[in-house]
Amino acid sequence: MKSLASLIACFCAAATLNCCTSGFYHVQTAIRFRYPSVDLFGTYASQWTVDDVRQIVDFSRNRPDIKKPIDQIEVERPEHASVKSGNPQNQGDPLTTFEVRKQNGRWIIINGSVNTGPAIITS
């Protein structure tokens, strides 16, 4: 009985520490769980939230000129990112690239930045 109480106490302590964790690792973990196929990287990627990624995924869903799914988001500046989509597996598979920026708290596609063409895969 004493070992069960010790086990429960250890579990509660671990859960408390885990719940109180915040910052980069917590947000990045939440993004990875919600969007496991999206590779989020770049200098300012640690500042992104699940909602930032959700906005990009949601508005790309409604655009027939953007291949699905979103594969990579490179966060170059706090209010700007480059996006790749289409999940090309072989040389020549279609790939879409576009640029986004944050305006008034919402991510939008930069006009004229959507390009679709064949992927060039290097190993």
Higher pLDDT, 102 or 120: 102
> CA nearest 66: which of 6, 24, 16, 116?
116
Mean pLDDT of 97-112: 97
Return the domain boundaries, the chain: 22-118
Coil vs helix vs strand at 89: coil
pLDDT digits (tens, 9 = 90+) for 4-40: 555 454 444 444 444 444 444 456 888 999 999 999 9
Strands 39-41 and 70-77: parallel
Q: Does residue 82 register a pLDDT over 60?
A: yes
CATH fold of 22-118 reads SHC Adaptor Protein (3.30.505)
Computed over every residue of the chain, the mean pLDDT equals 84
Spatial distance between the Cα atoms of 14 and 31, rounded to a whole number of angstroms: 22
Residue 112 binned pLDDT confidence (cut-offs 50, 70, 90): very high
Give me 50's structure tokens. Answer: 């699940």
Coil vs helix vs strand at 69: coil
Q: What is the pLDDT of residue 121?
A: 81
Q: What is the pLDDT of residue 20?
A: 42
